[in-house]
């Protein structure tokens, strides 16, 4: 015990799960199992009616499936009745021919020599059937019916021997007894492995001969009700024990711990330590493999009910390294020890993580709006660069339109700078701005806010690569958003589609066309 505590820590306590030696607290009433611990299924078929004739159609399998006492009774009765019937047929032939009255007459040739009564006829049949041939009783050539009966006896004897001896051989060589040397842990445990909550149990092989192509499967037996109201008693659900990763293929030369990871696809996703006390289920474990010595398929079964699932336990190691070999201590095969394990389910754990994550990281919507605001804040250098581009194209417009565009541009610059100074996020430092704009951007307070109160959600700045008509139109849209009185939607400058020159009066359009 001291060595175990040094290895696993002082907090771990070895638990002996053998219920015959330790006192356990009273538990709820033991319910009926679907599969016993030895693998026997507690299912009986009744009210078959006329379907019992199907058993006779497969008589060989029916005899093999019978218990040993019934097999022995059928074996003895079949041979005894067959011997008596055949001995009676030989006695009847001797009686009909009158051989019984001339048994000691040397001049008389009987059908079977030295057959005087039924015991002698029975001995002759046994000698013939067993091919003993003592030489005292034999068939003569004067008895054709005896020759025919001899051929019939040989054929029937071969059929009966093949049927009964084959049945006994198959029953004796069944791999069911091989399953007696395959061990399962008495209890299953739930604890963490590699940071994940897992359901685990242990399997072992007591023989040195291996199980070829050993594979393990698990079924969860639990009654449930469908959303449509249908009740499914003993519904079977598959438990993943490594089918996708190949972990269900076992190399069973030493005890192995089989692990089922509890994840959102597992039926134990919402199972906690408290809910385990109120659950009713049964886990059926099926181990299949080919017996190395006989080449026959063997299957071992066991089951675990909810009372046999220990929360917060782990199996005690049974492997130790000796000089030149590994030693397995099967005295600790069923022993477990307690380990720190969360008492809540995996579902509750994921819900807690999902609720705690938004407090530490910004949401995607906030990140997107933050990036959008940064992209929409312009520097004055960008405005000046776009000014030069507009001068190249704006020289083609009349002077009246150029003055309108320049005034709208100044208003737009003032509003952009005020918006950038109103928020804490600035695309560039104010030291890069002209002195007049620095004073304008540094002006803050109630008066400035009342004079120009910009709402970032209502103003959507477009890229500054626009013509002067677009700037004018954008200036009017911004003014409409800031002014308390709405701008009529039928205004020519707010109309969508077409070029900006199309919204001008006819006289201005003609002047523009002449230029």
- Residue-wise pLDDT tens digits, 238-291: 999 998 899 999 999 999 999 999 999 999 999 999 999 889 999 999 999 999
Rounded CA separation 479/487 (Å):
9
Rounded CA separation 308/17 (Å):
9
Query: Is 371 a domain residue?
Result: no
Query: Is 238 a domain residue?
Result: yes
Co-location of 134 and 235 in the same domain: no
Rounded CA separation 271/80 (Å):
62
Co-location of 131 and 261 in the same domain: no
Co-location of 273 and 204 in the same domain: yes
* Residue finishing a domain among 142, 174, 206: 174
Query: Is 231 a domain residue?
Result: yes
Co-location of 78 and 114 in the same domain: yes
Co-location of 306 and 261 in the same domain: yes
Neighbours of 473 (CB within 10 A): 21
Tell me the residue range of the domain where 188 lies: 177-353
Query: Is 291 a domain residue?
Result: yes
Co-location of 192 and 244 in the same domain: yes
**pLDDT digits over 476-502, tens only?**
444 444 444 444 444 433 344 445 556
Total domains present in the chain: 2
Co-location of 216 and 96 in the same domain: no
CATH number of residue 131's parent domain: 1.10.287.70
Query: Is 159 a domain residue?
Result: yes
* Residue finishing a domain among 174, 192, 214: 174
Co-location of 157 and 202 in the same domain: no
Query: Is 473 a domain residue?
Result: no
| DSSP state letters, 373-434 | HHHHPPPHHHHHHHHHHHHHHHTTS-HHHHHHHHHHHHHHHHHHHHHHHHSS--SS-GGGS-
Helix (H) or strand (E) holding 11: none
Query: Is 399 a domain residue?
Result: no
Would you say residue 421 has pLDDT above 70?
Answer: no
Co-location of 102 and 182 in the same domain: no
* Residue finishing a domain among 353, 379, 410: 353
Handedness of CA 120, 125, 126, 132 (dihedral sign): positive
**pLDDT digits over 433-443, tens only?**
444 444 444 44
Rounded CA separation 377/387 (Å):
17
Co-location of 211 and 344 in the same domain: yes
Query: Is 484 a domain residue?
Result: no
Rounded CA separation 79/237 (Å):
49
Co-location of 181 and 312 in the same domain: yes
CATH number of residue 340's parent domain: 2.60.40.1400
Average per-residue pLDDT for the chain? 74
**pLDDT digits over 165-179, tens only?**
988 888 888 888 888
Co-location of 343 and 199 in the same domain: yes
| pTM for the model | 0.57
Among 118-122, 418-422, 456-460, which stretch is predicted with the lowest mean pLDDT? Answer: 456-460
């Amino acid at each position: 015990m001291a060595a175990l505590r040094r290895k696993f820590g002082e907090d771990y306590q070895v638990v002996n799960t053998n219920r015959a030696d330790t006192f356990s607290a009273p538990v709820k009433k033991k319910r009926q199992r679907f599969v016993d611990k030895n693998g026997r299924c507690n299912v009986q078929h009744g009210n078959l009616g006329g379907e019992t004739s199907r058993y006779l159609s497969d008589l060989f399998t029916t005899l093999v499936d019978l218990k040993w006492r019934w097999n022995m009774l059928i074996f003895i009765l079949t041979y005894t009745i067959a011997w008596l019937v055949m001995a009676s047929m030989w006695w009847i032939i001797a009686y009909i021919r009158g051989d019984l009255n001339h048994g000691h007459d040397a001049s008389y040739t009987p059908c079977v020599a030295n057959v005087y009564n039924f015991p002698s006829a029975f001995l002759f049949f046994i000698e013939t059937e067993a091919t003993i041939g003592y030489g005292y009783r034999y068939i003569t050539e004067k008895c054709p019916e005896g020759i025919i009966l001899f051929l019939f006896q040989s054929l029937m004897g071969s059929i009966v021997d093949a049927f009964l001896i084959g049945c006994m051989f198959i029953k004796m060589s069944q791999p069911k007894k091989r399953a007696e040397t395959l061990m399962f842990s008495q209890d299953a445990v739930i604890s963490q492995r590699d940071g994940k909550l897992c359901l685990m149990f242990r399997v072992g092989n007591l023989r040195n001969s291996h199980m070829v192509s050993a594979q393990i499967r698990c079924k969860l037996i639990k009654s449930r009700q469908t959303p449509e109201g249908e009740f499914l008693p003993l519904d079977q659900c598959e438990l993943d024990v490594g089918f996708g990763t190949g972990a269900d293929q076992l190399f069973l030369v030493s005890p192995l711990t089989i692990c089922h990871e509890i994840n959102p696809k597992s039926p134990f996703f919402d199972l906690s330590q408290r809910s385990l006390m109120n659950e009713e289920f049964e886990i059926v474990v099926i181990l299949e493999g080919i017996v190395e010595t006989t080449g026959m398929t063997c299957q071992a079964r066991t089951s675990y009910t909810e009372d046999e699932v220990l929360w917060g336990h782990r199996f005690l190691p049974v492997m130790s390294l000796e000089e030149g070999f590994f030693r397995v201590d099967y005295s600790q095969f069923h022993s477990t020890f307690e380990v720190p394990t969360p008492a809540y389910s995996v579902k509750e754990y994921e819900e807690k993580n999902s609720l705690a994550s938004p407090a530490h990281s910004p949401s995607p919507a906030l990140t997107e709006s933050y990036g959008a605001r940064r992209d929409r804040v312009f520097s004055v250098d960008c405005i000046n660069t776009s000014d030069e581009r507009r001068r190249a194209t704006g020289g083609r417009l009349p002077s009246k339109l150029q003055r309108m565009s320049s005034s709208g541009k100044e208003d737009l610059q003032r509003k952009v700078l005020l918006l950038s100074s109103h928020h804490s996020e600035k695309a560039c430092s104010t030291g890069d701005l002209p002195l007049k704009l620095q004073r304008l951007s540094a002006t803050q307070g109630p008066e400035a806010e009342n004079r120009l109160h910009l709402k970032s959600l209502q103003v959507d700045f477009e890229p500054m690569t626009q013509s002067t008509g677009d700037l004018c139109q954008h200036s009017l849209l911004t003014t409409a958003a800031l002014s308390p009185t709405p701008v009529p939607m039928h205004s020519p400058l707010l109309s969508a589609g077409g070029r900006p020159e199309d919204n001008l009066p006819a006289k201005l359009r003609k002047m523009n066309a002449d230029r």
